[in-house]
């Protein structure tokens, strides 16, 4: 029952996150030919410092606030949580302004670190500075928007966050594509200018997302204030704000750092790849940055939609179970989370591994970096499993007040990534950057898994058995997909268009889904993991 409640609470966020990721991925299909791989590389150089600064500006407050609100609601104290929310608005406005100024003014320094001059450059140092400065404006809006999301999530209301996520993404992507299309086809044709406007779209998207949250908050304000008034304490009995912020920051700082895991790994790649490839005598450094951090990365993030939604839902949910001391519910939530994530991400990632060539060709065509793109996607696809499981294990630890374990594991993973990336690229070529991501995230994940087992007293026997079963079914799926696509490939021949490859690709994907779910249903695994609807009658 507890597991099914967790899944019920995750549905809206899962759908919204999936839609957001699909929109955020699909725009790359028209955007990539407009600005090219180097344009995507320039976009990464601007967007990665911004992603880091978002986490610094919000300090992990949104998810920490959802945990804080959930905790005090469980104790029947709505007043304390609401006071913290109100006082957090000017705080987030202030941190957003400071973060904006830091990123805007430090743009030349960041550009100097990230930009490596080379032959055939389509952008230069000043262009990197320009892109970083344009994206920095979004920092004025996002901290407050994130605070409001966290407060609503603490009420177990995921719909406001879901709707705001989708609208934010729609506004952002629409502006990116319209601006890039007009500049490249009817304007100056200046690629760095098009990329700059693409990053500025984050500001406009944030405005749209904030407008949605304000609407939802105003519509529920009467109910919220009624609950607050019912639990309002005397001035003497109230907790003081400094004490409240001390508790919130103890939640927030670790959350902020752990939330930076993927952006920090990507930033290491963006600032290391080209220098290491130049040292190894390899070309296409800027192109590889664009392919790895944008094209391939956005594809592998699609199966992570469920993990992202679960991560947001898990912190307040597990906090409630942990604070109330309900060990049975806690164990059920953890078991259900592991099962669902593994059941979906393992077949999805290895399906992408097998079908890397038709997926990449269908999405991006046979461009100059086609071989590089296909191999990058193939090697990078299974990292989805590590990203997804790491996200939920970090959330489980945070919900159990074991933030230090999550931080320590990430630090160790980052040290490994930072120390090995340059060497691995020199030794093994560009794909060495991917191998170090596996090493860093793999070690961090192993430490999280160990910490959960130790501090929650969690028995991994069931998870281990079901992972083996999932792996067996995934292997059968890969064989079926490989045979079907291989036969289709022979039948199609070499001269096939991007549209022409769509039907055999979808047939191969459909066959894989049918094989995997047939085995899952017949073995009763799907029913145990996904609920009664998937049980064999």
Top-ranked range on mean pLDDT: pick from 161-165, 262-266, 329-333, 413-417: 413-417
d(CA 184, CA 194): 7
pLDDT bin (cut points 50, 70, 90) of residue 14 is low
More confident residue, 186 or 423: 423
pLDDT at res. 315: 57
pLDDT at res. 470: 94
Nearest to 175 by CA among 144, 190, 160, 196: 196
Structure tokens given for 397 = 């630890």
Are 118 and 285 a contacting pair, CB within 8 Å? yes
- The H or E element spanning position 443 is helix 432-455
pLDDT bin (cut points 50, 70, 90) of residue 350 is very high
d(CA 375, CA 49): 27
Q: Which residue carries 């961090």 as its tokens?
A: 444
For 193-245, the pLDDT digits (tens) are 999 999 999 999 999 999 999 998 888 888 778 877 776 764 455 667 777 77
pLDDT at res. 324: 67
Quick one: 242 exposed, middle or buried, by C-beta within 10 A (0-12, 13-18, 19+)? exposed
pLDDT at res. 305: 66
DSSP letter for 523, please. T
d(CA 116, CA 43): 15
Structure tokens given for 513 = 């889904």
The whole model's pTM is what?
0.76
For 288-340, the pLDDT digits (tens) are 888 888 788 888 887 776 666 655 555 566 666 666 666 777 787 788 888 88
Q: Is pLDDT of 515 > 70?
A: yes
Q: Chain-wide mean pLDDT for the chain?
A: 83
In angstroms, what CA-CA distances link 45 with 28, 53, 272? 16, 13, 12
For 81-129, the pLDDT digits (tens) are 788 788 888 888 888 899 999 999 999 998 888 777 776 777 888 999 9
């Amino acid at each position: 029952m507890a597991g099914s409640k967790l899944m019920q609470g995750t549905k809206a966020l899962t759908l919204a996150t999936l839609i957001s990721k699909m929109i955020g991925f699909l725009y790359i299909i028209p955007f990539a030919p407009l600005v090219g791989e180097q344009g995507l590389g320039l976009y990464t150089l601007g967007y990665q410092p911004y992603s880091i600064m978002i986490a610094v500006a919000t300090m992990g407050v949104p998810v920490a606030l959802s945990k804080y609100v959930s905790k005090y609601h469980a104790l029947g104290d709505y007043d304390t949580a609401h006071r913290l929310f109100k006082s957090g608005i000017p705080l987030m406005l202030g941190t957003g302004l400071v973060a904006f100024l830091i990123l805007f003014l430090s743009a030349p320094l960041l550009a100097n670190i990230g930009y490596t001059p080379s032959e055939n450059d389509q952008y230069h140092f000043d262009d990197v500075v320009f892109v970083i400065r344009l994206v920095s404006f979004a920092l004025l809006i996002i901290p407050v928007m994130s605070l409001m999301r966290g407060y609503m999530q603490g009420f177990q209301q995921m719909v406001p966050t879901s709707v705001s996520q989708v609208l934010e993404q729609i506004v952002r992507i629409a502006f990116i594509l319209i601006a890039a299309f007009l500049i490249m086809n009817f304007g100056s044709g200046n690629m760095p200018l098009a990329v700059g406007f693409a990053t500025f779209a984050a500001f406009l998207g944030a405005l749209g997302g904030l407008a949605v949250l304000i609407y939802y908050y105003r519509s529920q304000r009467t109910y919220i204030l009624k609950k607050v008034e019912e639990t309002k304490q005397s001035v003497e009995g109230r907790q003081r704000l400094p004490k409240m912020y001390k508790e919130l920051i103890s939640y927030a700082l670790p959350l902020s750092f752990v939330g930076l895991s993927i952006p920090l790994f990507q930033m290491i790649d963006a600032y290391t790849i080209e220098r290491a490839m130049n040292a190894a005598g390899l070309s296409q450094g800027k192109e590889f940055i664009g392919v790895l951090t944008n094209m391939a990365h956005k594809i592998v993030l699609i199966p992570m939609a469920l993990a992202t939604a679960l991560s947001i839902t898990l912190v307040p949910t597990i906090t409630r179970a942990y604070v109330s001391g309900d060990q049975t519910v806690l164990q059920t939530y953890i078991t259900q989370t592991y099962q669902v994530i593994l059941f979906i991400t393992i077949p999805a990632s290895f399906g992408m591994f097998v079908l890397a060539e038709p997926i990449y060709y269908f999405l991006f065509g046979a461009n100059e970096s086609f071989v590089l793109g296909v191999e990058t996607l193939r090697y990078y696809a299974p990292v989805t499993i590590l990203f997804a499981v790491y996200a939920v294990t970090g959330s489980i630890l945070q919900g159990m007040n074991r933030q230090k374990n999550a931080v320590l594991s990430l630090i160790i993973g980052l040290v490994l990534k930072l120390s090995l990336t340059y060497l691995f690229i020199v030794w093994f070529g560009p794909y060495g950057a991917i191998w170090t991501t596996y090493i860093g995230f793999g070690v961090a994940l192993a430490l999280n898994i160990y910490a959960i087992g130790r501090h929650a007293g969690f028995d991994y026997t069931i998870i281990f058995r079901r992972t083996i079963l999932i792996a067996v079914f995934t292997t059968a799926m890969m064989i079926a997909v490989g045979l079907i696509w291989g036969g289709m490939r022979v039948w199609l021949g070499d001269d096939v268009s991007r549209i022409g490859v769509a039907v055999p690709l979808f047939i191969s994907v459909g066959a894989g889904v049918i094989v995997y779910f047939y085995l899952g249903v017949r073995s009763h695994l799907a029913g145990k993991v996904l609920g009664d609807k998937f049980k064999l009658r």
